A and B are shown apart, each in its own frame.
Chain A
């Protein structure tokens, strides 16, 4: 196993060669925000919030492997402003009503909104008309909240290794639906994993809402990324 040295925001770091840059930075107590990325599943690079500058050129830190001598800028005003805009766009594009969302307090998008002190988005709300897909006995897919990060498609599979979720429609009508065939007879544990995999409140395990009291939710006491940063 070869180790490489690299620099993030002037700090000298060390990690295994070829490691995902997001993970390599994390090992060195540096938080690079992510949304579509999830440890252990193939990266997609779709949300762009992990964009960093490598030798001055933008690249997504989830799809980039660390190499010897890499010089990375992450927590710089230009990128932080860009990341805030990504969060704002996602809020404006869907129907994200945190006050009644059971993922509130455990939602990565909401947590990033707080991290970047988003008050009112600079972008006009689109208020799209979207449905709640509620036919499944254990899962509910709320398309109003889906940010199309595809974590569920990449990360949640049944016993046959088939994904539980699938694309529906195209272009700006693109949806991620629950696949009736592959999601048949799923266990309660897999349903819970699907909910936990979703960074927002788009995948909800039925009948268990709001079971975790306020104060004990993931981001109630620890802002997102604070477990990584020194």
Chain B
């Protein structure tokens, strides 16, 4: 008799989701799905609000990466106030926002690697769940745990200095920014005693990557082959092909590295991307129209970004990028290498923070610009988890009439479902008993994408994930929630 496994909730991700795995009479996995069970609402209730409120309102989608929503929304509103697309701001306006964004990337990547992913790597995905968490890390490796906390703190302090608050600030306003960086604030990051300064953060980011590479040497087979499947990859890149997490053009490559989206202006994203709705999830399934629903799905995030970018415009990260590329080839479809890519980006973020802090434009008082008013604007940014789209239409009374968001995790919806299916088949086919370790392996695959399920459904409220085992008649045989 077949059965259905339910993993609910999925843990150590941001948001509330569950996994169901259907197993047939022969004990083979027939179908598996990642369901997102939160309800959406932001796109609707932002309607009628004045446009300048959007960057502050919509960032409440998330408590982990509010800066990404704040900035993507602000970039869209920049277009509406005639301040141009990404490059029309004053130097202080753009660089303050970039500093805020790299602070966000640095803290979010640090949070994900140390707090969410590292327990699986340090202890093994089938180790005791009571230890397989950040507290377990603190007990096993105090130094690493302290580093994790201080790296995240540094990023959060950068956000506070640029946005006014560590979470849900108000820094980015239509056409620019509402404050510059004082000399005292700058020096608090550049001249603070070790380890709380920008130079030390670069070193620590390198140390985190070295830790991962050490793990990789000992666990090459697992990192290379766990949840390994081909896909398309999409991200913003700078016009010259450099990795740029704040602004650029949209590029996508296929599983072999051929360009399938050729550096297009994201204001026209609807010409290239569509979202499919499926009855069993509140999260939509985006795809590239030119390739159709079946073949047009893509990955976003660190793995995708290092596949689309030609180079990284900061020296230490570039050196690591070259090594990574030499070992992994032109296009990397290996799911667990996302952690590797994420840590290279963490170094890049630290380098960018350090360089921006040394830029005197940040002390300028020329903060805001504007131009001819437009009725519609699109803002796209590379959030820690991947490409994030915000689109707004505004009426003549300055009220938002329409809003569309495609959140990073939504872009990764199909890849995460593929990953769940891949791991479920690899781990559970023909097995009589489903162990906690097997279920966590499914979560490990999801976790590699660092999903934020609340963002993805634009939910307002709580976040928690759950796995269900169903027989061929639809009867629930087993259900596990954490």
Scoring A residues 206 to 230 as 1 if CB is less than 8 Å from chain B, else 0, what string do you get? 1111111111000000000000000
Scoring B residues 153 to 188 as 1 if CB is less than 8 Å from chain A, else 0, what string do you get? 000000000011100111101100011000000000
A100-B397 contact in complex given A132-B48, A207-B81, C-beta closer than 8 Å:
no
- CB-CB under 8 A from A213, the residues of chain B are 164, 170-171, 178-179
Cβ-based interface call for A99 (8 A): yes
Cβ-based interface call for B265 (8 A): no
Q: Are A140 and B168 in contact (CB under 8 A)?
A: no
A132-B171 contact in complex given A207-B81, A211-B178, C-beta closer than 8 Å:
no
Q: Are B57 and A140 in contact (CB under 8 A)?
A: no
- CB-CB under 8 A from B49, the residues of chain A are 100, 132
Q: Are B397 and A210 in contact (CB under 8 A)?
A: no
Q: Which residue of B lies closest to A206 (CB)?
A: B398
A132-B399 contact in complex given A206-B50, A213-B171, C-beta closer than 8 Å:
yes
Residues of B within 8 A of A (CB): 48-50, 52-53, 55-57, 60, 81, 163-165, 168-171, 173-174, 178-179, 397-399
Could you name 17 residue pairs across A and B whose Cβ atoms are closer than 8 Å? A99-B168, A132-B48, A132-B399, A134-B397, A135-B397, A204-B50, A206-B50, A207-B81, A209-B174, A210-B56, A210-B173, A211-B173, A213-B164, A213-B178, A213-B179, A214-B163, A214-B164
A209-B50 contact in complex given A134-B397, A135-B397, A214-B164, C-beta closer than 8 Å:
yes
Q: Are A210 and B178 in contact (CB under 8 A)?
A: yes
A100-B53 contact in complex given A132-B48, A210-B173, A211-B178, C-beta closer than 8 Å:
yes
Report the Cα distance A212→B173, complex, angstroms: 10
> Nearest Cβ distance between residue B92 and chain A, in whole angstroms?
13
Report the Cα distance A152→B48, complex, angstroms: 23
Interface SS of chain B: loop
How many residues of A are counted as interface, with CB atoms below 8 angstroms from the partner's CB atoms? 18
Report the Cα distance A210→B55, complex, angstroms: 10
A207-B53 contact in complex given A214-B169, A215-B164, C-beta closer than 8 Å:
no
- CB-CB under 8 A from B164, the residues of chain A are 213-215
Q: Which residue of A lies closest to B60 (CB)?
A: A99
Report the Cα distance A134→B394, complex, angstroms: 12
Cβ-based interface call for A102 (8 A): yes
Report the Cα distance A140→B163, complex, angstroms: 25
- CB-CB under 8 A from B55, the residues of chain A are 210
Report the Cα distance A215→B163, complex, angstroms: 10
Report the Cα distance A86→B370, complex, angstroms: 42
A212-B50 contact in complex given A99-B60, A100-B56, A132-B399, C-beta closer than 8 Å:
no
Report the Cα distance A214→B171, complex, angstroms: 8
Q: Are B52 and A207 in contact (CB under 8 A)?
A: yes
